[in-house]
A = this chain, B = another copy of it.
Amino acid sequence: MDPYRVIVGKRDLRTYTDQAIPTGALFRILDAARRSGSSRNRQPWEFIVVTDREQRARLARCGRFTAHLATAPSVVVILIESPRDQFDAGRCAQTLMLAAWSQGIASCPATIHYDARAREVLGVGEGPVIATAVALGYPHPRGRGRIEGAALAILAGRGRKPLEALVHWDRYGNRRAPAASA
């Protein structure tokens, strides 16, 4: 498949089949995350791969929109060194999720709102910061069904803003593209 189409077609999906992710595929996904770019090549990340069913159920109680962590066969928690590494965490998570997507594996990151509880569950002491928990699984044929709450369902259906509302040229507020790029 065309790499551009894979990258642009990635959607965050929250419903998965029960099928486990083969260890080989999981390692390829983690290896892609590991090789992601970061500021000054600091690679400020570590990963906790959660496949144990009870651990996933506990993680699913660590945020407001985290129910899908219980039903995903694997979850990758991304830890960073400092809150200032959130931009690099986003790059890493996206690389991880696109590598998964290129192998037919869907994903959705979950914000961990209840940080103290998640630290307890995962055994993370002082030091590392929990950036996100990425659910991974094969997409369920029934699609995006199990979205928690009406609010999220509306948001998920909202689509994307049009490009012309987002793009400025050379200076903020200049909406006209230059005739030719020099």
Contact = CB atoms under 8 A, between A and B. Distances in A.
Contacts of A103: 4
A8 interface: yes
Contacts of A167: 30, 46-49
B87 A131 contact: yes
B10 A51 contact: no
A172 B90 CA distance: 21
**Copies of this chain present:** 2
A152 interface: yes
Q: How large is the interface on A (under 10, 10 to 19, 20 to 34, 35 or more residues)?
A: 35 or more
A144 B40 CA distance: 14
B170 A50 contact: yes
Contact of A111 (B39, B53, B93): B39
A140 interface: no
Nearest to A1: B3
A7 B98 contact: yes
Interface in A1-15: 1-4, 6-8, 10-12
Interface of A: 1-4, 6-8, 10-12, 20-21, 23, 26-28, 30-32, 34-37, 39-43, 45-53, 55, 65, 73-74, 79, 86-95, 97-99, 102-103, 108-109, 111, 122-125, 128, 131-132, 152, 155-156, 158, 160-161, 163, 166-174, 177-178, 181-182
